[in-house]
Amino acid sequence: IFDSMWESTTKMARAITNGIESEDIQVRLMNTRKWHRSDIMTEIIDAGAIAVGSPTLNNSIFPVIADVMTYIKGLRPQNKIAAAFGSYGWSGEAVKILNKEFADMKLDIIDDGVRVQYVPDADDLDKCFDLGVKLAKTLKERVPQ
């Protein structure tokens, strides 16, 4: 689940998705501009893992991501793996805020997350890919295939 201001977080989301798919795990890439939040919640209910990406805006997460996180929290998801990612220009609080939200929901945060200042370069995208692989492998360990 992600949104982006200048496509940096979009690039990160795609790289994470590629990492998950490389481990033969089904994944849905959900841009909040294209998916209705109720449809996002339907997917989350059955998901074993959640990755949420947001750019930092005014020292916080993107408003539409805050809305989605509030909705997720209300569902009280159980037994889910979580990871955060995001881009920023100056301060970069989004990933830390998302991780706090995950912790408040008692989700299993498997990584500190990936933060990228400005546009992700090849090394940043490799870190995103690796985060996707880590999500997939952790999920495989918990849910026998």
The answer to whether the beta carbons of residues 113 and 85 sit under 8 Å apart is: yes
Rounded to 10°, the helix 63-75/37-46 angle is: 40
Residue by residue, pLDDT tens for the chain (145 residues) are 999 999 999 999 999 999 999 999 999 999 999 999 999 999 999 999 999 999 999 999 999 999 999 999 999 999 999 999 999 999 999 999 999 999 999 999 999 999 999 999 999 999 999 999 999 999 999 876 5
Nearest to 37 by CA among 79, 58, 67: 67
Distance separating alpha carbons of residues 110 and 2, to the nearest angstrom = 18
The answer to whether the beta carbons of residues 110 and 134 sit under 8 Å apart is: yes
pTM: 0.96
Distances (CA, A) of 59 to 71, 92, 96: 21, 7, 11
Distances (CA, A) of 42 to 1, 38, 47, 129, 141: 12, 6, 9, 25, 24
With H, G, I as helix, E, B as strand and everything else as coil, classify residue 88. Answer: strand
